[in-house]
Structure 1
Amino acid sequence: MDWKRGAYPEFEIEDILVTLFLLKTPKGRKQISEELNLGEGTIRTLLKKLAALNLIKSQQKGHSLSEKGFKVVEAILDLFSEPVEVCSIEDFLAYAIVVKDPPQFKSIELRDEAIRFFARGAMILRYLNGEVIFPEDNRPLKETLPEIAEDLEKLPLEDGDLIVITWAENRIDAVKSAIHVALVLKGEQIPVEIRKLEE
């Protein structure tokens, strides 16, 4: 799959997922455009494609998920969580995402993917035996970064989960780079209609 920004389409699968997460509550096009830092024309195209798949409905108060859209979001959330803000890292906004039942991975490759996707940095962690650890050496996160370890306690973690934390110059780059890493791990399991939208 080619993740590079091309002239067309003007949005990525990461933008689609952020939009679906946003539309759990009604939002106007302008609001979505600001959240994703994409032009209103691009958002119009994206929303049109989601509507054509019956994933969203449009009303006076804005766009929101349809019943089918909620089911698709539930299917995505079975694979990985929505990004959640955690305390800042190196003065950058940071977001964490929990990947359920992750396949084999190399932390360094996942970090590189995040940085290639506009993150300033990334941390790959595991939740094992009730503790968040660095997978390379099983060192507990709380020993080096207790504030982040405390923040992660808010997440619904289960044994074996992978936690991706990314940080970036702005909120949307942090959010999308975290989603990007989750997609590298679970992309083939994303509902097929979402994957088709990117073609």
Structure 2
Amino acid sequence: MLGFNFVEIISAFLVLFAIIDATGSVPIFLNLRSQNKTIEPFKASFYSTIILIMFLFIGEAILKLFQVDLSSFAIAGALVILIISIEMIFGVEIFKIDENTSGNGSATLVPVVFPLITGPGTFTTLLAMRAEYNTINIIIAVILNIAFVYVVLRYLDGVKRLMGVGGVFILRKFFGVILLAIAVRLITSNLNALITSIQSQAL
């Protein structure tokens, strides 16, 4: 039925959940509010959903303009996921966010929508997953994740009290390990397809 697969939805949801890391970004959201920046949960969620779904469909076309196949991009995306997992597990900062990009007043678009929710890691992950999962399952996973993001943004203070500093720390480490395993799987599965493609072109 349209490629609907519950296991794929759960798997894609967990990958995106770890990449977006809304709970891990709670301190950033709170810091923005303390600087008198406004965050509009509905607008942030709506814009993020539109951007992610659009990129899911036109991302491959963009790759074709640069003559990059999906397997190559999936491996590149897996490497980005690998780096993000290292950040989460070891607590190092590799991808830096410019604190001065949020401008004055509203922080909804920058840096909340981009790059915190729809950053380079999320984009590469979406296209990497297209090599593995059915599109409809990825879309459902995106919507579920953005719904979670909305709840976090809408109830920031409650989320902070509920999870506590220790809860956020444990969650980041746990999903960091999951991301690391997923990155390895993406690299190994797509590497075979890439090698086969190169060999067929050489013949």
TM-score normalised to the size of structure 1? 0.27
TM-score normalised to the size of structure 2? 0.27
Write 1 or 2 for the structure with the bigger share of helix.
Answer: 2
Larger RCO (CA within 8 A; separation ≥ 6): 2
Write 1 or 2 for the structure with the bigger share of strand.
Answer: 1
Which structure is larger by alpha-carbon Rg, 1 or 2?
A: 2
